[in-house]
Every structure is written in C-alpha cells, then in structure tokens.
Amino acid sequence: YKITSDEIRTIFLEYFQKHNHKKISESSVIPENDPTLLFINSGMAPLKNYFTGEEVPPASNLCNIQPCIRTIDIDDIGDRHHLTSFEMLGSWSFNNYFKEDAIKLAFELLTEGFKIPKEKLYATVFMGSKELNLEPDTESIEIWQKVGMDRSHIVPQPFEDNFWGPTAETGPCGPCTEVFYDTGEEFGEAYVEGGVFDTKKRYIEIWNAGVFMQLNKLADGTYEPLKFKSVDTGAGLERLTMTLNKLNSVYEIDSLRPIVEIIKKQCASLNPDSDIPEQKINILSDHLRTVTILLAAGAVPSNTGRGYVPRKLIRKCCTILAKYKMDNFNFQEVLDRVIEHYKKYYSHFETNRKQIHDVFNKEVESYSAVLKDGTARIEKMCEGKTTISGKDAFVLVTSYGLPFDFIQDYAAEHGMTIDKEEYDNEIKHHKEISKLGNNEEGGSGNSLEALKGMAANFTKTVFVGYEELSCTGH
C-alpha cells in the first residue's frame, strides 16, 4: 500500500486541527436520542442541533471520524464503493467560515496533504432549480477555479445530486459541492462538458466537501435563509484508501482485504468445488463487518426496530453459505479479525468481544431452527405440486421467516416454479396496509419509525426481505 488507512486518518485529523478545528469524539452508531434515525449514517447526524442553533457546539470549527451505517445502500453492496458500514472523516464550521474556506481547505488537503494530482479530481456543484426557485451555485464554480481546478473538471449537477437535506420535511438544507476521483478509462467514458458524468463506476465520490447550510425549508415547500450559515463535510475513509492506492474496489483496502481473504480461504476449504462468485464473498465481508460493528455497539438481533438489521444481515450470510454448502463456516475467525482492526480505534470492540460472539452464535443457532421448521413446512406445502403459489411463498417468508432466496433455491432444486407475480402482489398489498410506503429516507436518513411500523404489522417473524430495508432507493 502506498498509503494506509491509518495514515489517512492521521493526515486528515492533523490537517483540520492545524487549521483551527477542534477534534471531538465520535458517537455510537446507535443514536442516543434520535428516534427518527435508524443508525448514525453521517458525521453530521449526531450534531444536527448545532445547525439549527438548538444546541451550541463546543467550538465553531469541529472535526472527527464517525463510524456510519447505511442500510439504504444495501442493494449496491458488491459494487466498487458502497459498504453498509464505513467511517466518515468530517469537518464543520458553525456560523463561521463558508464556501471559500471550505473549498480551499478541501483542495489543499487533497492535492498537498494526500498528493492527488489535480487532473484526477472533479468537483460537482449545484446547477440551481427554476422550478424550486433555487439559485445556481456559481460562487462555488468560481472558488474551485480560483484554487486551481480546471473549469472542465467542474460539473454542475441537478437538485437530486447536489442539494442536501433537510433530514425531515422541514429544516436546514443547502447546495453542496462534492469531489470525485477519476479511476481511469478502463472504468468508463470520460466526462466531457455537458455530457454524462458517470458516478457509478469511473468517477468515485470521495468527499462531500461542503454542504452549505444556508436555507431553511418551510412546511409550504418554500425556502427562507437560515439565521446563520454552516458548513458540513464528510469523506469516506474506505473510498479514500481505495482511490489513493489505485485499487479496484473497497474490498482491496488494508482494513477489508484480510476479512475477504479469511472468507475466501474458508470457502475454498469447506467446499473446494464451489464456484462462489467474488461478489458473494464481498457481500459476506461487508455484512459480517457491519454485524460486528452493530453487536459491538450493543445491538441485539430481533424482529423489530434496530435489532432487525443485524438479524437480517446474519440470516443473509447464512443463506449464502448454505447455498454454497459451506454450513460449517467459522464465523468466529471473521468476527475476531474485524475486532482486531477496530479495537485500535474504538475500545469497546475489545471490551465487548465475548458479547459479540455470544450474541452472534445465539442468532445463528436460532436461525438454524427457523430453517429446520421452514424446510419442513415448505416440503409439506409443495407435496404433489409443480408451482409454489405467491400466497404460500408470502406465508413462508412472513410467518416462517424463510428468506425469499431460500424459497427460490428450494424451488429450483425441486424443479418447481414460484408465482412471483402473485408474491409481489401480496407484498405490495401488505405494504399498503402496513404503510411501508412511508419508509422514505429524507436526505441520507434511515427511518426507524417506518421499520417499527413494518415490524409491528407482522404477527410472527418479519423477514419480508431486503426489499423492505431498501424500498426507498436514493
């Protein structure tokens, strides 16, 4: 590695401290006093009240490293750069400096601190919205040019991409400017002014270098200026480590690669003939890492609220392993490796080691009971049939806790088909009654209420599946 993630943390924190930012400690990924949020999903989430003035920050400029969980990204896991857990390098200015200094600080840190050639960097800015009566952010374009970014590397983007927040219906929000790293032509078409800017593969977003909080969204949908302006920034540690080392994906970085390798090695020895795809290995790595973080923070798997996520992730891993006939997988080794890494930065990983293992093992055991029951049930349901009806599949998923994947595999192995259309209709119908459609995530938020509502509406077990955790898109 040219530069380790450890070095990146140090360079980031030292840089902002040198520039008069007070380092504050991180918060638990489980929000302490915020029922509107499932898990802490950004550095700003625990600091929300500083932007509105409800609370006074310990200094006008702050910085820290915040572990984040984003279940909303679950469908993207296995791509180059989305993880369900990551660490965010954050910096803030409350009622102090604004666009000019924020952009200067970001550009200097990237080009001098991390020595990224500026040719590799692109910045997106808000192009304005006539419909919403919001001005284009021409100021940021000028500042990026002034600090040294070529005009052809500054990309105006619409509301959906470059206007942040509010986290709820109303509240502080504003245009943002984000920095992307060009990973090269083998990953896609080059951006030309006015053309498509491919942020899925070639250009990887590394830093939301400034959300310029300056507006307050009102209940009638209009905006008024905030009492004071603030800056919120967040950079992904894993993405910086990936791009600075010119790696193909986050799974190759120093903190994740050992986990991937342990899983690969175990898979190879448990079933040498299996052709388990790389993508599944990556999903296992991501999910087991996130589960370890959640259990370390004290989460307990359950059918409701926050406990639903670790349960869902553990069951997903078990389903993948069962599919490739790797039932004797040694999870302990993987969890210990995750703990080894994080305990360097967060002491509760070592303190809670035993609890992490105990809770995890208990969950795996209870899931094997679910699978046993569910398999007996599915066998009975399918006797003498060639099709699994949508209604039956729905019952197996919602009342018996079988993952839909599992039912699909069962059907395939037994030469049966599933009435997927009817199943989808059942799910849709069910969502309507339980108002799952309300699971909208404002900004990058996760709604705990929606999850609670979902869980409360099922009688026994609630594994309708990933669809529900991610039904909001982004």
Q: At 154, list the tokens.
A: 């500054």
Q: Are strands 417-418 and 171-182 parallel, antiparallel or unpaired?
A: unpaired
Q: Which is nearer to ligand ATP, 161 or 424 (CB)?
A: 161
Letter string b/e over residues 49-85, b meaning 16 or more CB atoms within 10 A of that residue's CB: ebbbeeeebebbbbbbbbbbbbbbbbebbbebbbbbb
- The one of ligand ATP, Mg ion, none whose footprint includes residue 251, by CB under 5 to 8 A per kind, is none
| Residue with Cβ nearer ligand ATP (191 or 394) | 191
Q: How far is the CB of 474 from Mg ion (least distance, A)?
A: 5
Q: Footprint of ligand ATP on this chain (CB under 6 A)?
A: 42, 70, 73, 82-83, 86, 88, 205-208, 234-236, 238-239, 444
Report the residue number, 89 or 320, with the smaller CB distance to ligand ATP.
89
In the complex, minimum distance from the CB of residue 327 to Mg ion, in angstroms, rounded to a whole number: 34
The burial of 190, by beta-carbon neighbours within 10 Å (0-12 exposed, 13-18 middle, 19 or more buried), is given as exposed
Q: Checking DSSP bridges between strand 171-182 and strand 121-126, what pairing results, if any?
A: antiparallel
Identify the DSSP state of 110.
Answer: I
Q: Residue 83 binds which entry of ligand ATP, Mg ion, none, with Cβ cut-offs from 5 to 8 Å by kind? A: ligand ATP
Q: Which is nearer to Mg ion, 12 or 423 (CB)?
A: 12
State which residue, 73 or 137, has the beta carbon closest to ligand ATP: 73
Contact partner, 156, from ligand ATP, Mg ion, none, Cβ < 5-8 Å per class: none
Min separation Cβ 167 and ligand ATP, Å: 11
Segment near Mg ion (CB under 5 A); pick from 90-98, 208-216, 295-303, 395-403: 208-216
Strand partners, 185: none
Closer CB to ligand ATP, residue 69 or residue 411? 69
| DSSP-derived secondary structure for 328-358 | T--HHHHHHHHHHHHTTT-THHHHTHHHHHH
Q: How far is the CB of 138 from Mg ion (least distance, A)?
A: 20
What backbone torsions phi and psi does residue 208 show, to the nearest 5 degrees?
A: -80, 90
Q: What is the dihedral of CA 468, 472, 473, 474, to 10 degrees?
A: -140
207 SS3 class: strand
Nearest to ligand ATP of 206, 321 (CB atom): 206
Beta bridge partners of 205: 180
By a kind-dependent CB cut-off of 5 to 8 A, residue 287 interacts, out of ligand ATP, Mg ion, none, with none
- With CB atoms as reference, the residue minimizing the distance to ligand ATP is 236
Strand spans (E) along 218-253 = 223-236
Q: What is the DSSP letter of 169?
A: S
Q: Choose from Mg ion, ligand ATP, none: what does 232 bind? Cβ within 5-8 Å by kind.
A: none
| Residues linked to residue 172 through DSSP beta bridges, in sequence order | 216
68 vs 371 by CB, closer to Mg ion: 68
**Residue 75: CB minimum distance to ligand ATP, A:** 11
Interacting partner of 207 out of Mg ion, ligand ATP, none (Cβ under 5 to 8 A depending on kind) = ligand ATP
Tokens of 459: 């009688």
Tokens of 436: 């799952």
Q: Which residue is nearest to Mg ion (CB)?
A: 208
The reply on whether position 157 binds Mg ion by CB under 5 A is: no
Residue 203 interacting partner from Mg ion, ligand ATP, none (CB closer than 5 to 8 Å by kind): none
388 in helix, strand or coil?
strand
User: Which one of ligand ATP, Mg ion, none interacts with residue 286, CB within 5 to 8 A by kind?
Assistant: none
Select from ligand ATP, Mg ion, none the partner in contact with residue 238, using the beta carbon and a kind-dependent cut-off of 5 to 8 Å. Answer: ligand ATP
Specify the residue, 137 or 178, whose C-beta has the smaller distance to Mg ion. 178
Count CB atoms within 10 A of the CB of residue 273.
7
- 262 makes contact, choosing from ligand ATP, Mg ion, none, with CB < 5 to 8 Å by partner type, with none
Torsion of CA 263, 267, 269, 270, to 10 degrees: 130
The least distance separating ligand ATP from the CB of residue 409, rounded to whole angstroms, comes to: 28
Cα 326 to chain centroid distance, Å, stands at: 27
Candidate residues 208, 216, 290, 472; the one interacting with Mg ion per rule CB under 5 A: 208
Name the token pair of 410: 């069962």
When the beta carbons of 85 and 216 are compared against ligand ATP, the nearer one is 85
What residue 239 binds from Mg ion, ligand ATP, none (CB within 5 to 8 A, per partner kind)? Answer: ligand ATP
The footprint of Mg ion on residues 176-205 (CB under 5 A) is 178, 205
Nearer to Mg ion, 67 or 403 (CB): 67
* Cα–Cα dist 55/71, whole Å: 28
Q: Of 46, 50, 68, give the one whose Cα is nearest residue 58.
A: 50
Would you tell me which residues interact with Mg ion (CB under 5 A)?
178, 205, 208
